Amino acid sequence: MPRITSIEPGFYRIPLPTVLTDSMHGEMRAFELNTVRIRDSDGAEGVGYTFTVGRNGAAIDTILARELPEIMDGEEADEIERLWHKAWWALHYGGRGGPTVLALSAFDMALWDLKAKRANLPLWKALGGFDAKVPCYAGGIDLDLPLDKLLRQTDDNLGKGFRAIKMKVGRANLFEDVERVKAMREHLGAGFPLMVDANMKWSVDGAIRAARALRPFDLTWLEEPTIPDDPAGHARIVREGGLPIAAGENLRTLWEFKLYVAGGAVTYPEPDVTNCGGVTPFMKIAHLAEAFNLPVTSHGAHDVTVHLLAACPNRSYLEAHGFGLERYIAEPLKIEDGFALAPDRAGHGIDFDWEGLERIRA
């Protein structure tokens, strides 16, 4: 079997064309991209990546450059489950989350890319295959956009083929959130899928109050109403707020998702393949949700996640938000009439512009 011969990290800073804001992260002027290229003894290469909203990318790069090459020296590349556990426990004492699990996510993604390429299969088929057409929504970071610009952004997304929209909430005055959501509902019309995202802004009681105020607008879900460290609080919001709740982009392990799912704290589990440990735990989280009859959604990394949801019978919506990465990918995600299309190229199919990325190396 082919063995791992090299692990090559990359660390880049992608400037954003406009400053983005949400209720908790504040102003975001650039995203950090961490990549990893794994080569095996047959000369094949798999690519993985993760990202941050502007901080800690250097720590991720150090783990990919110093820790994983030593841990994985000479290992068989196809034994992904074993290698995931080896890395998890080798890094566990100083890890369990943060930069460590983001680095592991990128590494695991690269292993799956390599394995699918070796089988000459698109990743979604290598993972079992279900349906290459995945319902998709446009996720905007638009909390501070004036209402007229918010509606113009929405029209632009509709023109790109999106048939579901997510907007930010969590302004200082709840009345302003309600008025903006009301305007968006009137703009989109009855029945159009509309989600809102609070980015952890509220206390539990504040989130319940906000959910009740937003109930008249037929929302598909309210996302991240409070901090991720409070599954019991999320369960209260689910019970008392009257809206479906999406959460999980800030959860880092399968076991954290277990607390949410089994505790009735989430309606739409929302793993991010770049920070939950990679493809391996993402699929376990999706199957955990399936066992509880819950639909799974996603956060970030849509060019990879489209494959994962295309392998899930309980998938709901894919979030499409490239964070400017599409400028450095040969064939970005395709959207047609509300669906993202999982490509049929071998592996995850992402072909990075490495020369272009080199110009923005961090």
- Looking at the annotation, which residues are catalytic? 168, 299
H/E run at residue 222:
strand 221-223
What is the length of the chain?
362
Q: Rounded to 5, what percent of the chain is helix, strand, coil?
A: 40, 25, 35
Task: For residues 348 and 350, give the distance between their C-alpha atoms in angstroms, rounded to a whole number.
Answer: 6
Three-state secondary structure call for residue 67: helix
Buried b (16+ CB within 10 A) or exposed e, 29-49: ebbbbbbbbbbbeeebbbbbb
Q: How far is CA 301 from CA 118, 228, 319, in A?
A: 22, 20, 9
Contact 194, 219 (CB under 8 A): yes
HSE of 111, CA atoms in CB hemisphere, 13 A:
26
First to last CA, the chain: 35
Alpha helix locations (H) across the chain? 57-62, 68-71, 80-91, 98-118, 123-126, 147-159, 174-188, 204-214, 231-241, 254-262, 279-291, 302-309, 354-358
Q: How far is CA 177 from CA 225, 277, 283, 284, in A?
A: 13, 34, 34, 35
What crossing angle do the helices spanning 279-291 and 302-309 adopt, rounded to 10°? 40
CA R_g for the chain: 20
